[in-house]
Amino acid sequence: LEGHVRLGDVKYRGRWIDFESKPDEILAYSEKKYPSSLLGDGYVVLRLDGKVEWLRKQEFEEELAHRQSQKEVEILRNQHHK
């Protein structure tokens, strides 16, 4: 359904991208936070190479956890507690 996904709060990870980042690195993402009969819970993901894709919630969370540095996790945790 090209063009039929509403975006919510977009999280941009540009701070964590460097010259060694691979093309499939997650550059930005947005969680779907509305009911839909077509899509389950998940995330719209923008890759560094420009590809946009849909990932199921568990798949996204596992991939992001694998890619995040400890520093990124700490900063995000601190932002959520403010």
Helix (H, G, I), strand (E, B) or coil at 73: helix
The answer to whether 40 and 3 have CB atoms below 8 angstroms apart is: no
Q: Quick one: average pLDDT of 70-82?
A: 76
Domain ranges within the chain, ordered by starting residue: 10-80
Q: Tell me: the pLDDT tens digits for 43-57? A: 999 999 999 999 999
Q: Which of 7, 16, 14, 10 minimizes the C-alpha distance to 73?
A: 16
Q: Quick one: average pLDDT of 23-31?
A: 94
Residue with tokens 């560094």: 48
Enclosing H/E stretch for 44: strand 42-47
Q: What is the mean pLDDT of the chain?
A: 83
Query: CB neighbours (10 Å) of residue 60?
Result: 20
